[in-house]
Amino acid sequence: KLKRKRRKLINRIIRGILFTILGVFILLLILTGYLFIDRDKISERVLLSLNDYTRGELIFESISFNPFIQFPSMSMLIREVEIYENPISERNQNEESLAEIERIYAALDIRELIRGRVEVSRMSLKRGKIHLIQYPDTSINLMNAIEIVEPLPGKYNEEKELENVDSPVLDAALTPPDAPEDPLDSSTFEINLDYIIFEDIELYVDNRLEKNRTNLIFSNLRAQLEYTPEAISSNLDTDIKLEYLQLSDKNSINNLDIFLETSLVFSRKELNLQLDPSLLIVGRSELNIEGEVNFMEEGFIDLKFSGSDDNFTLSQMILSETGLENLEKGDLYFRGTIKDNNLRGFPVVDFSFGINDVRMFVPITGKHINDLNLSGRFHTGSRKDFSAAWIRIDTIYAELPDGYVNGALFARNFNAPEFNLNLNMKADISGFDQVFNIPFLDSLSGIFQTSLIAEGAKYHSDSGYITGDYIEFDIDMKTGQILTWKPVSDAQIIKAQKKT
């Protein structure tokens, strides 16, 4: 009898467990069925509720939500997305969208979401454009759009609640703004973006403060981002097409291929950014950079960089398109540091640079510039007006058409320049204005010859005069009009006089 009672008790326990499991399974099945049938409406409602809390406006054509296809991750696909800086009630007719994306896909881990951690196993943006604007007051349209705002009074009324009584899922917009628990509290909130992809995303940057523009195309960007209460870490590699970069009113950079590979960690407690060895390739120019920056009140900058440029892509401010097209060989190199022991000061950039074995064809004359070599060092100093800056060029040498150039230069205090210069040059400069972006050469041609020695020289911008301890200055320039200029030699004041 005792065994029979024990067996019955065990059977009851087993049946109880089975019924409990079956009940949970049926409940889960019902919930699953509801989520599957009404998944798109639920996700659309939650996503659009973001418009109640931000200044900008999110619009999309359709959304597909599937919580099971990649379980335990739930996937979301949004098509034809538009983001505006202002809601439709406040924006004018001429306001363009901040972003237009054809397709956004994301997969979120449900288990991590319950724990207050957003873990996106995959996120992709395909085919679209992003238009960033910095206004004259330094504000940025993107930051304006995501600015948190208080919902309008009456947002949480009975009428809106009645609209949603058929849904067991509470609309995110119905959650009071003063809810006791904030799931996005920065002290606990975590985000892990395992795999981010941009494909054919155009970025337009309109800096109305500095009055310049930049157009970029991200043909392929892959990144990883982890955000925790302690740190933010990221890895990134991307291929970028630089369509247009405005350098000044007259100069710009066009159609450059850029590759960036970098890895960084930002400590939120110490406010310290650690940049691992990173690579930036612009055309055939390479820049390697690594180091750290501390953003504390008594922070610091300690970076080092090096690079090379075998087709002078970075020299478009000096060489014209014609010059770059006719550059047959050569290499530009640089290496240095960026340091600042107190972020309140001005970062000191100190680097050496050089040009090796340059050969360039001058189309108009059919002649060459050969064996151009230059080496030097540049130091910015710690003053914002560059009054403590200096540059030293140890070697300038080249074989020029019908002549040569050799010399050396030391200059300091770029606010009120002081310099020592030793330069000897003779050349047919016809066509130089087409290969160099140097205003002095505009429309000049013929034989140019100069011998210049200056020691302790100073340039006075107010008068245009040069004074110095010792100056010997001789120019013989034969242009199409055969004009000859012969400045006088004077240890005190030099001013050009026309030779008669």
The 3-class SS string of 94-140 reads CCCCCEEEEEEEEEEEHHHHHCCEEEEEEEEEEEEEEEEEECCCCCE
Compute the distance between CA of residue 277 and CA of residue 291 in angstroms, rounded to an integer: 8
Return the residue matching tokens 């110490």: 270
The fraction of the chain above a pLDDT of 90, given in percent, is: 22
Is residue 15 predicted with pLDDT exceeding 80?
no
Per-residue pLDDT at 302:
93
> For 390-435, what is each residue's pLDDT tens digit?
999 998 999 999 999 999 999 999 888 999 999 999 998 888 888 8
| Listed residue (403, 398, 328, 329) closest to 370, CA to CA | 398
Question: What is the mean predicted confidence (pLDDT) over 310-314?
Answer: 65
Is residue 490 predicted with pLDDT exceeding 70?
no
DSSP string, 33-86: HHHHHHHHHHHHHHHHGGGGTBSSEEEEEEEEEEEEEETTEEEEEEEEEEEESS
User: What is residue 153's three-state secondary structure?
Assistant: coil
Contact status, residue 473 vs residue 457, Cβ threshold 8 Å: no
Per-residue pLDDT at 162:
39
Residue 440, amino acid: F
> For 335-374, what is each residue's pLDDT tens digit?
999 998 877 778 899 999 998 999 999 998 999 999 999 9
Contact status, residue 476 vs residue 496, Cβ threshold 8 Å: no
Question: What is the mean predicted confidence (pLDDT) over 91-117?
Answer: 79
Which residues, in sequence order, are CB contacts of 417 under 8 Å at separation 6+? 411, 458, 459
User: Residue 248 — pLDDT band, cuts 50, 70, 90?
Assistant: low
Compute the distance between CA of residue 294 and CA of residue 272 in angstroms, rounded to an integer: 4
Is residue 474 predicted with pLDDT exceeding 80?
no
Residue 23, amino acid: G
Q: What is the mean pLDDT of the chain?
A: 77
Per-residue pLDDT at 416:
87
**220 Rama class: left (phi>0) / alpha (psi -120 to 50) / beta:** beta
Using only C-alpha atoms, what is the Rg of the chain?
A: 33
| Listed residue (149, 128, 140) closest to 82, CA to CA | 128
Structure letter (DSSP) for residue 250 = S
Contact status, residue 68 vs residue 36, Cβ threshold 8 Å: yes
> For 218-241, what is each residue's pLDDT tens digit?
888 888 888 777 888 889 888 888
